Amino acid sequence: MLLVLGLAAAIWGLGRVFGLPPSARWPLIGLLFVAVLGIQYLFPDGHPLRAATGGDPELWLLLAGFAALALAYGAVVRRLRIRAQGEVGGTPGKTLPAKMGEAELERYARHIVLRELGGPGQQRLRRARVLVIGAGGLGAPVLQYLAAGGVGTLGVIDDDVVENANLQRQVIHSDATIGMPKVFSAQQAMEAQNPHVIVKPYHRRLTGEIAAELFAEYDLVLDGTDNFETRYLANRAAVAAGIPMISGALSQWEGQVSVFDPARGAPCYQCIFPEAPAPGLAPSCSEAGVLGPLPGVIGTMMAVEAIKVLADVGAPLRGEMLIYDALWSETRKIALKRRGDCPVCGEKKDG
């Protein structure tokens, strides 16, 4: 039995070293368990291999039963925790009416008269569930415009608090909310802007332990983070959930936005950026600086792409990246290709 437990620990540890999420490591443990059961049932009593792996199939079945109960209990607890944290500071149990009332119809009238969007498109937005990662420079305009535009349920996850230095560009926050968690400051602003939406704030950092369960609650993810670790994690979770991820990035005077959607033939984030840049090559906004209005421009572009994806209109930036240079007032688009050997979405990822 110690041999099997050692192999299981080795599989788990190596998976962690190579960056495999828990959702990918558990199936490997399951295969090991199936192999051990096969040995117990196929080999006769007293066989050295059977003895080395426990010698009794009933012992493994009992252990598997306890493990299944523990995993089920943990999954339920995590889901309840996510739901509970999504309602902190909000209106518990808030739901939207089945149909838009007069106030909503008037509010979204400029959307409804757009031929490409119309009433059906607005209803799609109203039924949509969107998760925004980060309530900072990019998250601020994304959240403001998606809330104003009538996206029915908006989740926002961020573990940071509002600081004075944020207010030069993170316009969803105010001087009065300095010191408040950004997710609650953003929620306060969104609900003041539009009481006809549901806001779910998650005051915590996105981690591999919660990503799969959290992403399963949403139809679309927008990544407004400023670190590569979270971007790669969000990309893996979005690909695993089969949902698009709209990503934006900033540097001084330049920004970029793209829609990563392998489920519809487009590349994922890691197809384009296989590895994080070396330390110092991609400094943060606090290190390199950033023009105050630039996050508003790029974040608003992300919100536009989100509406196009959710309402199924126009041509979203799938397989393309839009680059905006504010210093020289230039925009350009480049084509992006999916990589067959991408470890996240490539055809050879399992080989």
Cβ atoms of 120 and 208 within 8 Å: the answer is no
* Residues 200, 53: Cα–Cα separation, whole Å: 48
The pLDDT assigned to 351 comes to: 42
Judged by phi (left if over 0) then psi (alpha if -120 to 50, else beta), residue 54 lies in left
pLDDT by position in tens, the chain (length 351): 566 677 777 776 676 666 555 656 677 777 777 777 777 677 777 677 667 766 676 676 777 777 778 777 766 665 655 555 444 444 556 778 888 889 999 999 999 999 999 999 999 999 999 999 999 999 999 999 999 999 999 999 999 999 999 999 999 999 999 999 999 999 999 999 999 999 999 999 999 999 999 999 999 999 999 889 999 999 999 999 999 999 999 988 999 999 999 999 999 999 999 988 776 666 666 666 789 899 999 999 999 999 999 999 999 999 999 999 999 999 999 999 999 899 999 876 544
Distance of CA 77 to the CA centre of its chain: 20
Which amino acid makes up residue 204? Answer: R
Tokens of 80: 């309840």
Going along the chain from its start, the domains and CATH numbers come out as 2-84 (no CATH), 96-335 (3.40.50.720)
The pLDDT assigned to 281 comes to: 60
Cα angle for residues 301, 307, 312 (degrees, 5° grid): 125
DSSP class of 92: T
DSSP class of 318: B
Residue 70, CA distances (Å) to 36, 75, 183, 305 in order: 20, 9, 32, 41
* Residues 133, 207: Cα–Cα separation, whole Å: 11
The pLDDT assigned to 81 comes to: 56
Query: End-to-end distance of the chain based on CA atoms, in angstroms?
Result: 30
Tokens of 31: 């295969």
The pLDDT assigned to 45 comes to: 74
* DSSP state letters, 252-281: BTEEEEEEE-GGGT---HHHH-SSPPPTTS
Tokens of 96: 């939207």
The pLDDT assigned to 27 comes to: 76
Which strands, in side-by-side order, build the sheet including 330-335? Answer: 198-202, 153-157, 129-133, 220-223, 245-251, 254-260, 320-325, 330-335
Tokens of 18: 């190579």
* Residues 179, 197: Cα–Cα separation, whole Å: 25
Which amino acid makes up residue 99? Answer: K
Residue 285, CA distances (Å) to 1, 124, 161, 212, 295 in order: 52, 35, 16, 29, 11
* Residues 241, 229: Cα–Cα separation, whole Å: 18
The pLDDT assigned to 20 comes to: 57
The pLDDT assigned to 95 comes to: 79
Neighbours of 207 (CB within 10 A): 11
Cβ atoms of 172 and 138 within 8 Å: the answer is no
Which amino acid makes up residue 314? Answer: G
The pLDDT assigned to 70 comes to: 74
> CA-CA-CA-CA torsion for 222, 346, 17, 236, nearest 10 degrees?
20
The runs of H, that is alpha helices, within the chain are: 2-17, 22-42, 48-52, 57-86, 102-107, 109-112, 118-127, 139-148, 182-193, 208-215, 228-241, 269-272, 285-288, 294-311
